[in-house]
Amino acid sequence: MRLFNNTNIPFVKYRKIAYVISLILIVAGLIGLFARGLNWSIDFTSGVAAKVNLTALDSSVEPIQIDELRNVLKNNGYPEAEIQHVGPVQDASFMIKIKSETADAEVSGNAKNEILSIITENFPKHVEGMDINQDVIEEIYEVGPKVGSELRTNAILAVVIALILMIIYIWFRFELLFGLMAIAALAHDVIIIMGIFALTGKEITIQIIAALLTIVGYSINDTIVIFDRIREDLKIRRKEPLDEVINFSLNETLSRTVITSGTTLITALSLNLFGGIVLNDFAFAICLGVIIGTYSSIYISSSLVIDLTHATKKEKRTAQKLSGRR
Amino acid sequence: MKKFSWRGLSIIIFICVTAFYLAPLAIPNLPGWWSNHVLKLGLDLKGGMQILLEVDTSELSAADARGAVDQNIKIIRERIDQFGVAEPSIQKLGENRIMVQLPGVSDFQAAENLIKQTAMLEFKVVANPDETRRVLDSIDANVNANLDRFPALKELAELDRELLEEADDEASSDLGIFSSLIRPGQMDYEVQFDSVRLVQELLGNADFVQMIPAGWQLALERANAENPRADRPIHVLSSAVELSGADIARARVEYGSATSTDPRIANKPYVSIEMKREGARKFERVTADNVGRRLAIVLDGVVYSAPNIQERIGGGRAQITGRFTTSEANELSIVLNTGNLIAPISPASTSIIGATLGSDSIRSGSTAGLIGLAIVMVFMLIYYKLSGLITDFALIFNVGFVLAMLTAFGGTLTLPGIAGIILTIGMAVDANVLVFERIREELDHGKTPRSAVDAGYKRATITVWDANITTLIAAAVLYQFGTGPIRGFAITLTIGIIGSMFCALVFVRSIFDTFIVTGTKKSLSI
């Protein structure tokens, strides 16, 4: 079975359209990043996140409404608490998040114990007969300000260092221009994905940073396979114009690109659908990354190589002309 | 006769190693040396608690600071061992951080208290009523003179004045503002529950401490666990430390008899302590000098009990009572036995994962993995037929290899680690896809299966290396900058990539070669 047999899709011809689409996506992403900013999770901002299960053992007890919980926490000194319902509606499972307002202001080291005691005091019926430690707490994260800001620095550093190392590797294996264009395509992917996260208000957790780095590794992988082929074809088809050679290489590698992206997307989707709440956003980021990364490897990185080669050649030619006249 | 090949040998080693480390997961009754090598689950899958502690060494010299962190680790390890946690992990991170991981712990609060407690135990003489009155009066006078330095008290004073003006009651107008927070109880002065927080803040305020006459200090009594909103007694203590934790030889939990007349002990656990010889001598002297007075047992600045000294006590035995629950008494005795932390510690971050969430994560993670694996395998089979089937075998081996290597290197499987494995399933076929597509092209050019396979592998190998090295770079960076679960992800990703390259370039290739060399087929099922 073959999905793509001797295709000849004029990718290169339509590259301007791709540029426009990418430009729109990037601008939208940047607007999202600057206007709304990223929603850093407490891993990075410091604070407390607690997931508690307040489903009463006695089924005759009315389930806690989210507003009740919000009011109780508000009246007990936590007006800034963000509360979300987790899972099915009949389960009174809540995620309570209290972020430090600024990086320096520390959420008290005792916040998690205070929240728990506020809950047990105010909802005695709902926690009756349950062991707070074993039945009520599903997970709690408490992050101090020092660790939070360190992590944020590390996360940004990690992404930047990964990008630099890849430029160096591709520079070493191909040409600097290829390396730079591959990274331009990567930056394109990262900006769009971060933009989507900013616009949807999804949290940037440590796992999302991990997903981002995986995408960086994955998307460059696609680009390199295509570049490899271009390099090979350039040797064989010396006489043909660059545009056609690159278009030929893109078509040759198309089935591989689509199949690999497809299998990765399948596994990422299955993680997204069946992997549980904890991995949901992580898998979402990977899915986005696979789609955008594949698109950018086909349309952006090679196209940029073409246009930049043209630009530099034109300069050379005009330079030659100018010197010739003189 | 087939000649010896390194490739064949490496495949045999690969399969044996994988089987060796996976066997304990599948076969129950293996000998100990074998079954010890079993895949460990991370905290996020098993449930448990992780605390990152920061050791404050700012008040120690550089040489002492280094020792202090190690000493603290030793003490924390001892406490945890006595508390009874299976497979705790206590590591030093960087210069002055300690990472404590307690898998499977369910009583989070107790565990946290146990680790955090500095346990500065002190015995101090309690002021008699006259002295207490004098100290309080002089605090009032000092505070009144410096009211501007205590905004909270000033506010309170103004409120009082307004109330008094209304009531026109001159008799109590001379009552000092600090004294107004406390009132005489049955035995001691007591602080009403509503004012406890304010008083605690004042006691922690260096400015306020200066207001207390030299040689004395104030300390609240421990909150009543059964009735947390009850008033709390406050004591005036002589600041001289008569005995400290260093004088203690041994602490142990005991239970008071049901018939005891002291409500603090009756039917309740308490901690009995035995002093070292030197401590016992000191204790004897203190009790002899202070017959008729009270001796406070102060732990971390909080009075646990302040019994009357009825007579000189020899033998160096004492009891710490204070309406403990059994687990509290247990913790206290552990902490007393293991000694004080050398430098104060504070938690920089804490994660608690309930056991339910962990097992849910395992279930949903493996469901997602199996579904993803199944779809990819079916696809490969349909798309590449027999060659796809070979890849499918390699894929299963690859997943096994990741788990086996994790076990071999003593790594732990975390939730992001599972995600890493699932992603490598998708990525692992990449190397094969690259090769297969290349072989198909070569076949299209009219080559025989034999030479198409050779040419396909030859050309695709470089690409496979190039493509995977970049992902390895990303994984290495992740490992370097990540902590805990993220490292787990980076490790599984790395092992997965290495495994997938091995599977594609060695494993699948040898099956191809063997199949084509020995087989009589003229066509290739691809």
Judge contact between A197 and A313, C-beta under 8 A: no
Contact A186/A216 with Cβ under 8 angstroms?
yes
Q: Which of A69, A215, A157, A82 is nearest to B474 (CA)?
A: A215
Structure tokens at A227: 């570049």
Judge if B219 and B359 occupy the same domain.
Answer: no
Mean pLDDT lowest for which of B43-47, B323-327, B453-457, B470-474?
Answer: B323-327
Statement to judge: residues A21 and A108 lie in one domain: no
What value does the mean pLDDT take over residues A301-316?
A: 82
Question: Of B315, B340, B365, which residue constitutes the final position of a domain?
Answer: B340
Q: Are residues A240 and A297 in the same domain?
A: yes
Task: Report CA B446 to chain centroid distance, whole Å.
Answer: 64
Last residue of a domain, one of A143, A158, A177: A143
CATH number where B477 lies: 1.20.1640.10
Q: What is the pLDDT of residues B381-434, one digit of tens each?
A: 999 888 899 899 889 988 899 989 888 887 888 888 888 887 788 777 888 888
Cβ A228–B353 below 8 Å, yes or no? no
Picking from B348, B355, B382, the nearest residue to A147 by CB comes out as: B348
Residue to mutate among A271, A286, A291, A294, with most B CBs inside 10 A, is: A271
CB pair distance less than 8 Å for B354 and A138: yes
Number of domains in chain A: 2
Instruction: Choose the mutation target among A113, A259, A265, A290 for the interface with B, i.e. most B CBs under 10 Å.
Output: A259
The answer, yes or no, to whether residue B352 has pLDDT greater than 60, is: yes
* CATH number of the domain enclosing A156: 1.20.1640.10
Whether residue B306 contacts residue B343, with contact meaning beta carbons closer than 8 Å, is answered with no
**Shared domain check, A19 and A90:** no
Residues B138 and B267 occupy one common structural domain? yes
Q: Which of B273, B270, B224, B268 is nearest to B250 (CA)?
A: B273
Q: What backbone torsions phi and psi does residue A40 show, to the nearest 5 degrees?
A: -70, 135
- For chain B, what percent of residues have pLDDT higher than 70? 93
- N residues, chain B: 526
| Facing A133 at nearest CB: one of B107, B415, B440 | B107
Tell me, yes or no, whether B228 and B268 share the same domain.
yes
Domain assignment present for A77: yes
At B171 the pLDDT is 46
Is residue B394 a contact partner of residue B507, using CB atoms and an 8 Å limit? Answer: yes
Count of alpha carbons within 13 angstroms of residue B330, beta-carbon side:
10
Q: Is the pLDDT of residue B286 over 50?
A: yes
B485: chain A residues, CB-CB within 8 Å: 206-207
Q: Under DSSP, is residue A318 helix (H, G, I), strand (E, B) or coil?
A: helix
Q: Domain containing B323 — which CATH number?
A: 3.30.1360.200
A243 lies in some domain: yes
Find the mean pLDDT for residues A236-265.
Answer: 89
Residue ending a domain, choose from A143, A163, A190: A143
Given a cut of 80, whether residue B260 has pLDDT beyond it is no
Q: Say which amino acid occupies A47.
A: G
Average confidence score pLDDT of chain A: 83
Per the rule left: phi > 0, alpha: psi between -120 and 50, beta: everything else, A154 is alpha
Q: Is the pLDDT of residue A105 over 50?
A: no
CA distance A43 to chain B (A): 9
More confident of the two residues B173 and A61: A61
Once rounded to an integer, what is the mean pLDDT over residues B93-108?
84
Clarify whether residues A297 and A170 are in a common domain.
yes
Query: Does residue A237 lie within any of the structural domains?
Result: yes
Q: Based on the fold, state whether residues A180 and A252 are members of the same structural domain.
A: yes
Q: Are residues A27 and A56 in the same domain?
A: no
Identify the residue whose tokens are 């599972």. B418
Q: Is residue A3, in this structure, part of any structural domain at all?
A: no
- Measured distance CA(B413)–CA(A289) in Å, rounded: 24
Q: What is the mean pLDDT of residues B20-40?
A: 79
Kind of pairing between the strands at B216-220 and B97-103 = unpaired
Nearest Cα to Cα of residue B216 among B302, B126, B293 = B126
- Three-class SS state of B353: strand
Minimal Cα distance from B361: which residue of A?
A276
Based on the fold, state whether residues B481 and B510 are members of the same structural domain.
yes
Residues B145 and B209 occupy one common structural domain: yes
Q: Answer yes or no: do A101 and A182 share one domain.
A: no
CA A259 to each of CA B296, B333, B370, B383, B451: distance values in angstroms, whole numbers, following the listed order: 76, 63, 19, 10, 24
pLDDT at A104 (0 to 100)? 46
Residue A183 shares a structural domain with residue A37: yes
Q: Which of A274, A277, A287 to mutate to test the interface with B (most CBs of B within 10 A)?
A: A274
Instruction: Kindly report the average pLDDT of chain B as a whole number.
Output: 82
CA distance linking residue A201 with residue A40, whole number of Å: 10
CB-CB neighbors (< 8 A) of B375 in chain A = 266-267, 270
pLDDT, mean of residues B465-472? 84
Among residues A114, A143, A172, which one ends one of the domains? A143
Name beta bridge partners: B191.
B182, B232
The answer to whether residues B140 and B237 belong to one domain is yes
pLDDT of A114 higher than 70: yes
- In this structure, the answer to whether residues B25 and B64 fall within a common structural domain is no
Global pTM?
A: 0.75
Asked whether residue A317 is domain-assigned, the answer is: yes
Domain membership of residue A210 as a residue range: 15-41+148-325
Residue of B nearest to A154 (CA): B481
Total number of domains in chain B: 3
Q: Which helix (H) or strand (E) holds B304?
A: strand B302-305
Confirm whether A224 is domain-assigned: yes
Distance of CA B160 to the CA centre of its chain: 47
| CATH code of the domain in which A100 resides | 3.30.70.3400
Contact (CB, 8 A) for A110 and B116: no
Whether the pLDDT of residue A23 is over 90: the answer is yes
Neighbouring CB atoms inside 10 A of A58's CB total 9
- With b for 16 or more beta-carbon neighbours within 10 A and e for fewer, the B309-336 pattern comes to beeebeebebbbbbbbeebbbbbbbbbb
B387 and B476, same domain (yes or no): yes
Helix (H, G, I), strand (E, B) or coil at B442: helix
What would the two tokens of residue A319 be?
């330079």
pLDDT of residue A188: 92
pLDDT at B173: 46
Partner-chain contact B481 A214, CB within 8 Å: no
Domain membership of residue B379 as a residue range = 6-41+353-518
Q: What does the buried/exposed string (b/e) look like for A139-165 if buried means 16 or more CB atoms within 10 Å of the residue's CB?
A: bbbbbbbbbbeebbebbeebbebbbee
- Based on the fold, state whether residues A228 and A161 are members of the same structural domain: yes
